[in-house]
Amino acid sequence: MRTAVSYSLDLLAVALAALGAFAAVTATSGGPWLLAPVAVLLTFLPGYALVAALWPRASDLRPALRGALALVLSVGLVPLVAFALDPFVGFRPVLVAAIATGGTVVACVVAVVRRAGVDDPPRPLGWLAVSAGRYFRRSSDLRRPVPLGARSGKDVAMNVLIVASVLVLAATVGVAAVVPQTHGYTEAYLTDGAGANASVVSNGGGDVSAATLDSLHAVVENHEDHAATYRTVVAEQRVTRRNGATHVESERVLDRATQRVAAGESWTQSVPSGGGGNRLVVRVYRDDAQQPTATLTLRR
């Protein structure tokens, strides 16, 4: 039993690494430093645990084959989970990461139980020692030629480059697929009043009646992942059409306002109607931007 326990320390390390990777994924919205935890969660840990659970004896698989299967199963199974869930709950990166982590831990437990019942459990990470000898250490007397076997320093460097490229590619894809990605934006529109019963009058341009103009409100919604400061400038213009183009003859500012809006919140303010022009313009600026984030116009 003691031998079985000593030969299961790799599974304890795999389970803890999976939990740590999941904690790193859920603790932040992104960042380059997440490449490492996402790489191991996507390309190695689930497959390693599954291989250990399915083949508990050292004689079941050659060490190098164990490592190859761990990589192949991980890269294949995690995207498959995402595709299987998509028709039911949509693409939920955190849920995919949670299932991958939970599956890894369960497979580790099953592997520990199965290893306890065999007399020749595999040596922890024995496949890594074999791979290091064949692919990452120069050897001119390999007993049997193997694909990509290292016979010179140049071969070793090439194998390291191949492995590093695959891991970086998988980790980059994993960050995009597993880590929640936020694409913030600001939405602005005009309504015919404030409250739940208000209807959208315009989110770009159009005509408006005098009655609607008297109850006009501008709504700014912050869909960023952080709070933002918005400035609105309401102006009335006198415009004419000449030669198929619109010309602004004059403009008068009616109102200016500034408001700090939390992420996911909105800001509603009344819009003065003016009366000296034939077009109303509401410009929305975010933070210190010199160009408006949104420009709303209404003809009257």
Same domain, 160 and 243: no
What average pLDDT score do residues 241-263 get?
89
Tell which of 178, 199, 220 closes a domain. Answer: 178
Q: Give the per-residue pLDDT at 63.
A: 72
Question: Per mean pLDDT, which range of 5-9, 131-135, 294-298 is the poorest?
Answer: 131-135
Q: Give the per-residue pLDDT at 255.
A: 92
Same domain, 90 and 107: yes
CA–CA separation, 189 vs 221, rounded Å?
9
Q: How confident is the model at residue 166 (pLDDT cuts 50, 70, 90)?
A: low
Strand (E) or helix (H) holding 279: strand 279-286
Taking 50 as the threshold, does the pLDDT of residue 7 lie above it?
yes
Q: Give the per-residue pLDDT at 162.
A: 61
Give the model confidence (pLDDT) of 169-218 as tens digits: 555 555 555 555 555 788 888 888 666 555 666 565 555 555 566 778 88
Same domain, 142 and 202: no
Give the model confidence (pLDDT) of 71-113 as tens digits: 888 878 887 887 888 777 776 777 888 898 999 999 999 999 9
Helix (H, G, I), strand (E, B) or coil at 90: coil
DSSP structure string for 191-241: ESSSSTT--EEESS--B--HHHHHT-EEEEEE-SSS-EEEEEEEEEEEEEE
Tell which of 120, 149, 178 closes a domain. Answer: 178
Same domain, 190 and 172: no
Partners of 222 in the beta sheet?
Answer: 186
Q: How confident is the model at residue 29 (pLDDT cuts 50, 70, 90)?
A: low
Same domain, 196 and 268: yes
Same domain, 156 and 232: no
Give me the percent of the chain exceeding a pLDDT of 90: 15
Tell which of 123, 144, 178 closes a domain. Answer: 178
Q: Give the per-residue pLDDT at 148.
A: 47
Number of domains in the chain: 2
Same domain, 39 and 141: yes
Same domain, 202 and 285: yes
Same domain, 116 and 153: yes
CB atoms near residue 244 (< 10 Å): 5
Q: What CATH number does the domain containing 240 carry? A: 2.60.40
Per-residue CA distances from 91 to 15, 29, 31, 73, 247 (Å) = 25, 16, 20, 21, 48
What average pLDDT score do residues 224-245 get?
88
Taking 80 as the threshold, does the pLDDT of residue 126 lie above it?
no
| Identity at 162, one-letter amino acid code | I
Same domain, 210 and 255: yes
Q: Give the per-residue pLDDT at 222.
A: 92
What average pLDDT score do residues 138-163 get?
55
Q: Mean pLDDT across the chain, nearest whole number?
A: 76
Q: Which domain holds residue 254?
A: 186-299
Q: How confident is the model at residue 272 (pLDDT cuts 50, 70, 90)?
A: confident
What average pLDDT score do residues 142-161 get?
56
What average pLDDT score do residues 40-64 get?
83
What's the predicted TM-score (pTM) here?
A: 0.49
Same domain, 31 and 123: yes
Same domain, 16 and 118: yes
